[in-house]
Amino acid sequence: MTTIYMDHAATTPVRKEVMEEMLPYFTQYYGNASGIYAIAKESKKALEKAREQVAAGIHAQPAEIYFTAGGSESDNMALRGVAEAMKAKGNHIITTKIEHHAILHTCEYLEKHGYEVTYLDVDADGKVSVEDVAAAIRPETILISVMFANNEIGTIEPIAAIGKLAREKGIYFHTDAVQALGHVAIDVEEMQIDLLSMSGHKLGAPKGIGAIYIRKGVKITPLIFGGAQEKRMRAGTENIAGIVGMGKAVELAVSELPETKAKLEKMRDRLINGILTAIPNSKLNGHPVDRLPGNCNISFEFIEGESMLMLLDALGIAASSGSACTSGSLDPSHVLLAIGLPHEKAHGSLRLTLDIDNTEEDIDVVLEKLPPIVQRLREMSPLYMAQK
């Protein structure tokens, strides 16, 4: 059975071009980049080339890019690193209720260690209001962290406006751009971003590699101590193959962005409109226009997302739902609750995330298979049968 993979917000396959670029760094150029002999120099050269590729992708300077082990580490580093380095100035952080858990759980940790965190609400489309950010600022605010685009509902946040506000107030601005990188144009200069988190496996590089942009001059403490790698900001022998993959993946995704965006938006809109038309009592979650090109998130009344995922899986379709089953809990998604969905509707939501390996035929298959699945599940629901 061929798989139709529509869970690219969870992870992506490694691109062929990326893997080819990485391969020599496993067995041929395996040197430790700190060495002074020839094969070590190959590693060092590859490391600096990748740094340039990642920097170019977000309009930063190569010296402002530090490689990490992924988006979670970059998020932890931004928050804990700035909190620690700036504690003489203040102890207040502003974020939102719809951030990834790498941000939210780090904030909870900081709250247990003397910091205060404001979690901003979002509107029904998942947008943060710039006025709310402004109103939350206090003299002791040291950091504003608002994600670039949401991983569940795809809403793109007003990053440039928040960046402008933060810069005017002299407060550091961090954004988790894991979902946005390669799908939305990012310019850290123009958008006045001070710190930005990236992850390789969300854009065709392997899992376990990421990066953080830290604007020159930003005060931050490292998370990992040890060797002198990454200008002492992130100790540990560099994952050269992963780094090479990350550099190549960013370069490819950013150079192809206009075509990818057009292709994905067309498929996404056909998918969304097709589902909303075919299935009554269904509703799109997330912003109708300011949304990630590959994100479709829809709630269906009267059904359980988990059952829908199992039936889709039986047909070879990989998707995800609004109950956070991935984290082993049955709580509905904090993001869907934050946009005002009641528990039952949050549970009955389906997230389909597309990327370059999807085809129009994949959309046809989902549009054919999904409506009968929803109908079948609804016929098993006493609530649905009662209102019919």
Binding segment for ligand PLP among 18-26, 194-202, 211-219, 323-331 (CB under 6 A)? Answer: 194-202
Q: How far apart, in whole angstroms, are the C-alpha atoms of residue 244 and residue 209?
A: 10
Task: Answer for the pair 178, 100: CB distance below 8 angstroms, yes or no.
Answer: yes
Q: Quick one: 75 or 362, whose CB is closer to ligand PLP? A: 75
Does 202 participate in binding ligand PLP (rule CB under 6 A)? yes
Closest CB 44 distance from ligand PLP, rounded Å: 24
Contact with ligand PLP (CB under 6 A) among 70, 81, 247, 332: 70
Contact 173, 192 (CB under 8 A): yes
Among 182, 210, 332, 348, contact with ligand PLP (rule: CB under 6 A): 210
Closer of 339 and 373 to ligand PLP (Cβ): 339
Site string for ligand PLP, 290-329 (x = CB under 6 A): ----------------------------------------
Instruction: For residue 296, indicate whether it is catalytic.
Output: no
Nearer to ligand PLP, 319 or 370 (CB): 319
247 Cβ contact partners less than 8 Å away, ≥ 6 residues apart: 49, 50, 51, 52, 53, 54
Number of residues that bind ligand PLP (CB under 6 A): 15
SS3 257: helix
* Cα distances (Å, whole numbers) of residue 151 to 111, 188, 324, 364: 24, 20, 13, 24
Of 43, 199, 297, 323, which one interacts with ligand PLP (CB under 6 A)?
Answer: 199
Segment contacting ligand PLP by CB under 6 A, of 82-90, 199-207, 237-245, 313-321 = 199-207
Phi, psi of 172 (to 5 degrees): -65, 145
222 lies in the site for ligand PLP, by CB under 6 A: no
Residue 311 makes CB contacts below 8 A (sequence gap 6+) with: 373, 376, 377
Task: Tell me how far apart the alpha carbons of residues 297 and 317 are, in angstroms, rounded to a whole number.
Answer: 15
Q: Which of 157, 176, 301, 362 binds ligand PLP (CB under 6 A)?
A: 176
102 near ligand PLP (CB under 6 A): yes
Q: Closest residue (Cβ) to ligand PLP?
A: 71
Q: Which of 134, 325, 365, 367 is catalytic?
A: 325
Q: What is the DSSP string of 269-290?
A: HHHHHHHHHHSSSEEE-S-SSS
State how beta strands 195-199 and 172-176 pair: parallel
- Contact stretch for ligand PLP (CB under 6 A) within 113-121, 197-205, 294-302, 349-357: 197-205
Q: What's phi and psi for 136, nearest 5 deg?
A: -85, -15
When the beta carbons of 72 and 95 are compared against ligand PLP, the nearer one is: 72
CB 165 within 8 A of CB 133: yes
Token pair, residue 297, equals 């998130």
What amino acid positions are annotated as catalytic residues? Answer: 325
Contact positions toward ligand PLP, by CB under 6 A?
Answer: 70-72, 75, 100, 102, 147, 151, 176, 178-179, 199, 201-202, 210
